[in-house]
Amino acid sequence: MGMRSAFLAGAAYTAGVFTFAFAAGAIRVTLIAPQVGDLLAVLIEAPVVLAVSWQVSLWCTRRFHVSLDSRARILMGVVAFSMLMALELGFSVLMFGEAVDRYFAKFASTSGVAGLATQVCFATIPWVQCHLRSAGSQNGDFVA
């Protein structure tokens, strides 16, 4: 049940964050980037998406009863990251008509690296929360 919970939580985590990030990305691309440039727009969007990711991860780990075991939290993050990347590629190619090589070429730009770093942070949040919670309980502190 533990790994199944982690898998389901990872899928739900992706769905929640992707929905929010898709809307935030539309605002970034259409309103913010033309005013401040791609890199600054990504840097403005990233902390907002990560804050939402933190809350969605908390909800998912509680809702699906994901254990504080590091392996379960890492699996949740790996599932979430894999699904996120597949969704992004699928949307880019199928909805927006972008070529696959063009999609991957974006990661070579500074803003693409910043976006990818944000996605990696998104994937690590379940594990970070587990680690903080474990450390807090060992010290007698409560950590969400």
Q: How many CB atoms lie within 10 A of CB 62?
A: 10
Q: pLDDT tens across 61-107, in order?
A: 999 999 999 999 999 999 999 999 999 999 999 999 999 999 999 99
Please report, to the nearest 10 degrees, the dihedral formed by the alpha carbons of residues 95, 54, 134, 131 taken in order: 50
For residue 29, the one-letter residue type is V
Predicted confidence (pLDDT) at residue 141 exceeds the cutoff of 80: no
Between CA 128 and CA 117 the distance in angstroms is: 15
Residue 70 vs residues 7, 30, 55, 65, 104: alpha-carbon distances, Å: 13, 39, 19, 14, 30
Q: pLDDT tens across 6-62, in order?
A: 999 999 999 999 999 999 999 999 999 999 999 999 999 999 999 999 999 999 999
Between CA 68 and CA 95 the distance in angstroms is: 38
Model's pTM, two decimal places? Answer: 0.89
